[in-house]
Amino acid sequence: MPHDVFAEARRQAEICNACRYCEGFCSVFPALQADRAFSDGDLTQLANLCHNCRGCYYACQYTAPHEFDVNLPRALAELRTESWERFAWPGGLARMFQRHAGAVTIAVAAGFALLLALVHLLGSTGAGDGFYAAMSHGLMVSIFLPAFFFPLTSLAISLRRYWRAVGGGRVRGRDIAAALGKVARMKDLAAGHGEGCNFEDEDRFSQARRLAHQAIMYGFLLCFAATGVATLMHYLWAMPAPYPFLSAPKLLGVSGGVLLGGGALWIAALKTRAERSLSDPRAWAAEMGFVLLLAFIAASGLALYGLGSTAAMPLLLALHLGAVLAFFVLAPFTKMAHGAYRFAALLRDATRTKA
């Protein structure tokens, strides 16, 4: 570790607490001003409330070359990275996948290779219709059911560790409603006065990052809904795939794929324009790799919708499912985990506001 991330975040939080210029910028400052001394848990909570909009940095009169050298977005980003690595289960994987784009690439390539091998060696029974001609339904379920529950279990353990570390207590229904409301609108990404944030451009307030995040989140939820509806149709109503275009799974999946892919590419473009020294530079490449993986999942899924009845289908299916498998395995140890931690931080904030 190049420096003590807690000591640096504590030093800057104390300066901000005395200054208070950025009071209305985001959820971090009201939480910060509620304390006079900052425990490691308090700082971890502040770090996970911050979404790196950079508004406070560009407004700050104490940035370098001032001797205070305040760079709160970076101090909190480095602490976030450290906290996700500390809480992750199994330990060690987050450190590898959060900081090394090469590890993300190898995991994705392994997913491709595994699925290609399965399609060629086991899947081509010709016994099913559509995708099931390349890979049987039973084989898909036996791979993806455990792959689906692994990240859920891992994240549940990580969030429990987070909740203990930040001193989280009892949660009421209205706390959950308040946190969900903020997630649904991504209100903090609009910054304090609603103009947007300065993530990719110091001089301009923009809603771009908020809209791109919303496209990814709602696209992901639509894709998830498509899979859920298809599962119900398969098991409850004996209606196995393939489905026509004007069916719930396809309409949900296509709209979700367009939103997910468009949002991921938009975020990738914004990241290339943003100043890297205002975030954790050690995590930049791996974060970008994960965003591009999301875009690839969406693009390969849409290609399957379009070319699913051609000779390219088995290859496209293996590439798409290999990417989805890599996504499931990587989700708790990469940028994807920030959604879960952010919700937990907003929940903690809501319980504290009430107290």
State the residues that interact with ligand SF4 by CB under 6 A.
15-16, 19-22, 25-26, 28, 50-56, 59-62, 70, 72-73, 76
Closer residue to ligand SF4 (CB): 44 or 300: 44
Question: What is the distance between the alpha carbons of residues 282 and 285, in angstroms, rounded to a whole number?
Answer: 8
Q: How far is the CB of 276 from ligand SF4 (least distance, A)?
A: 14
Q: How far is the CB of 19 from ligand SF4 (least distance, A)?
A: 3
Closer residue to ligand SF4 (CB): 9 or 115: 9
Closer residue to ligand SF4 (CB): 296 or 349: 349
Burial of 346 (0-12, 13-18, 19+ CB in 10 A): buried
Closer residue to ligand SF4 (CB): 82 or 132: 82
Q: How far is the CB of 337 from ligand SF4 (least distance, A)?
A: 18
Question: What is the distance between the alpha carbons of residues 111 and 219, in angstroms, rounded to a whole number?
Answer: 22
- Indicate the DSSP class of residue 197: B
Peptide bond into 73 cis (omega under 30): no
Question: What is the distance between the alpha carbons of residues 22 and 14, in angstroms, rounded to a whole number?
Answer: 13
The closest of 279, 302, 282 to 209, measured between CA atoms, is 279
Sole residue written with tokens 């965003």:
291
Question: What is the distance between the alpha carbons of residues 24 and 324, in angstroms, rounded to a whole number?
Answer: 40
Q: How far is the CB of 55 from ligand SF4 (least distance, A)?
A: 4
Closer residue to ligand SF4 (CB): 47 or 159: 47
Q: Which helix (H) or strand (E) holds 60?
A: none
**Contact at 8 Å (CB) between 27 and 55?**
no
Closer residue to ligand SF4 (CB): 19 or 106: 19
**Contact at 8 Å (CB) between 206 and 197?**
yes
Closer residue to ligand SF4 (CB): 21 or 148: 21
Sole residue written with tokens 């689906």:
148
Question: What is the distance between the alpha carbons of residues 12 and 41, in angstroms, rounded to a whole number?
Answer: 16
Q: How far is the CB of 180 from ligand SF4 (least distance, A)?
A: 19
Q: How far is the CB of 10 from ligand SF4 (least distance, A)?
A: 13
Q: How far is the CB of 271 from ligand SF4 (least distance, A)?
A: 15
